Amino acid sequence: MALGSSITVLAVTGIGEVRAGDDLAAMIAEHATLEPGDVVVVTQKIVSKAEGRMVRIDPDDPAAKQALAETESVRILRRRGALVVTETRHGFVCANSGVDLSNVADGWAALLPVDPDRSARRLRDGLRARTGVEVAVIVSDTFGRAWRRGVTDVAIGCAGIRAIVDLRGTEDALGRELVATEVCVVDEVASAAELVMGKSAGVPVAIVRGVDARWLGKGAVLSDVVRPYDEDLFR
Amino acid sequence: MALGSSITVLAVTGIGEVRAGDDLAAMIAEHATLEPGDVVVVTQKIVSKAEGRMVRIDPDDPAAKQALAETESVRILRRRGALVVTETRHGFVCANSGVDLSNVADGWAALLPVDPDRSARRLRDGLRARTGVEVAVIVSDTFGRAWRRGVTDVAIGCAGIRAIVDLRGTEDALGRELVATEVCVVDEVASAAELVMGKSAGVPVAIVRGVDARWLGKGAVLSDVVRPYDEDLFR
């Protein structure tokens, strides 16, 4: 079999329930043996829990989630039934401002981290301090898409990995110039991680091992991936 | 290390240049040892080439690509400079109707396959005939997104794998009901494959090994993933 590069995606199990103030880096370091260049993907949910981004919500009020989503938004783009598509303070366009009631205790809602890139940097620093290993970190969340049904996981924060790898100007296989191939590798890594996380399996961390070492370095989602309002053709 | 499930993504090298009429199944079978349950991801480019979906284009006319993109569309959604965002006959919303000049000979353009799900089914049947192994097939392409910079690979056709896995009604880890978690697993698998394909490395095939066996089965992108116009909030 003529094989080139390969990537392995590993689910990290045993993390258990995360509570406000928990040390995520310590919990991950306890359950995973990290290697240099690994990308550690953690779901927004456990980051929000560890950071105490949980708020009370009336479980009997069907409009409570939408009202909360609106307070978390800077712009409401569309409404349809119980769904509200908003632009969050970060600039993410997503359903319900990312407010999420699944996998949280009854009567509580998880909000997005205030600064998911910072969350990723802190976790990366914590993992380095505990393990001595340089890894990259991606905070992932599950977003819908304008033109396609179904949700996929994307990166809402990252550290130690370039968010978008610019292949403009590199030659294609026929020696011609590529004109616009800026690949959002952090979103692709987040999607790859989701394949082993599952939604009901309660696996909030995965390791993506073997990504191109040239992608590692300084990167951020908010500044590099979020499309600014004035560049947007569809908002 | 407490590890749960894992997935491996393998680049298949040595395929070489693909020409109209080439037997893709034979070319892949020659260079890859397939296992039952593998998802074989092939780029749209080599499928289009094998299917003869190449057309002449004037390499000296900067407007030629856009004109061709318009003839391949049913609806033009936005224009900005040389970019035209269109809805293709399949219902895909993408840049330039998927018309692509990279990695094709000078003076030619690659169009999308007429029916990418059928392309995937044919390739799956061909691989079964040649290897005796039941695999799933995804035809991938590189699309932009409305709200996020950078491109990612998505599925434009599939066979032997459900496009969207509906986890509605399954319980989350705390025993509560999830309400809307229809995951577009074929897009996530396409993104995972892209991580090893690279854009300039000329690797048009990857194998994603280890996906949840419950996802395997009948699926299609056009009927399941393409969001119909009347369901769309942003077109």
- pLDDT, one tens digit per residue, over B123-146 is 999 999 999 999 999 999 999 999
- If you average pLDDT over residues A22-27, what whole number do you get? 98
How far away is chain B from the Cα of A122, in angstroms, using its nearest Cα?
22
Using pLDDT thresholds of 50, 70 and 90, give the confidence band for residue B62.
confident
| H or E segment to which residue B207 belongs | strand B205-209
Minimal Cα–Cα distance from B115 to chain A, Å? Answer: 17
Instruction: With CB atoms and an 8 Å threshold, state whether B102 touches A226.
Output: no
Interchain proximity A149–B78, CB inside 8 Å? no
Dihedral class, residue A186 (left if φ above 0, else alpha if ψ from -120 to 50, else beta) = alpha
* Chain B residues closer than 8 Å to A103 by CB: 172-174, 176
Across all residues in chain B, what is the average pLDDT?
A: 91
Whether the per-residue pLDDT at A209 is higher than 90: the answer is: yes
Task: Give the largest Cα separation in chain B, rounded.
Answer: 62
Predicted pLDDT at B174: 62
Q: Does the ipTM surpass 0.90?
A: yes
Contact pairs from chain A to chain B, CB under 8 Å: 274
Indicate if the pLDDT at residue A207 is higher than 80: yes
pLDDT band at B35 (very low <50, low <70, confident <90, very high): very high
Q: How confident is the model at residue B177 (pLDDT cuts 50, 70, 90)?
A: low
pLDDT tens digits for range B196-210: 997 556 789 999 999
Of residues B234 and B64, the one with the higher pLDDT is B64
Put simply, the answer to whether A146 touches B148 (Cβ < 8 Å) is no
pLDDT computed for residue A188 by the predictor: 98
- Closest partner CB to B13 (pick from A3, A12, A211): A3
Assess contact for A159 and A221: CB atoms under 8 A. Answer: no
Task: Please enumerate, as own/partner, the contacts of A76-81 that have beta carbons within 8 Å and a separation of 24 or more.
Answer: A77/A235, A77/B233, A77/B234, A78/B233, A78/B234, A80/B233
- Show the domains of chain B with their CATH numbers: 8-51+113-226 (3.30.1330.100), 54-112 (3.90.1660.10)
Nearest-Cα residue of chain A relative to residue B171: A200
- Kindly determine whether residue B195 and residue A211, on different chains, have CB atoms separated by under 8 Å: yes
Q: Which of A9, A77, A148 to mutate to test the interface with B (most CBs of B within 10 A)?
A: A148
- Give buried/exposed letters for B111-149 (b at 16+ CB in 10 A, else e): bbbebbbbbbbbbbebbeeebeeebbbbbbbbbbbbbbb
Selected residue of B18, B101, B143, B148 to mutate for chain A interface (largest A Cβ count, 10 A): B148
pTM value is 0.94
Distance CA A41, CA A158 (A): 9
